[in-house]
Amino acid sequence: MALIGTVTEFGRYRKYVGIAGVDDEDIVIETVDISRFDTFMLSNAAGAVKVLVHDGTTLLTAPLSLADLGATTNDPVLLTAALRQYAFKGRFHNIQVRQEGVTDATGVVLWCFVDASGK
């Protein structure tokens, strides 16, 4: 997997800013090794995206469930909506964020954190 988008390091945090998607299934963010991170937040300004994870051997093709931080229920979602915040936790080797549908995915940002609380 190769880096797609731009990355900025902030010590215990890492920020990925995606490229603009054009077509369905375009990769807008592809991380380098993120195995030291375990907590993630994702947002996008337009379009919809989904998250696929790599376990170090295989890219898992089923989208990851995300917590919609603005929802009134705790139901997980597979696709984002524009101008919302989503969160997920786990240990992954790499992450791909892909455009879903024909509306261009723009303003996609993925934050990676190390959970210092150990939870």
Max CA distance (Å), the chain: 40
Strand partners, 38: none
Q: Side chain identity at 114, as an amino acid letter?
A: V
Q: Is 74 a residue whose pLDDT tops 90?
A: no
Question: So what CATH class is 6-113?
Answer: mainly beta
Q: What percent of the chain stands above pLDDT 70?
A: 97
Cβ neighbors of 57 (< 8 A, separation 6 or more) are none
pLDDT at 76 over 60: yes
**Cα dihedral sign, 65-87-79-23:** negative
Residue 118 has pLDDT above 80, yes or no: no
pTM of this prediction?
0.93
| Mean pLDDT on 60-64 | 93
- Is pLDDT above 60 for 119? no
Domain ranges in the chain? 6-113
Instruction: Work out the average pLDDT over 63-67.
Output: 96
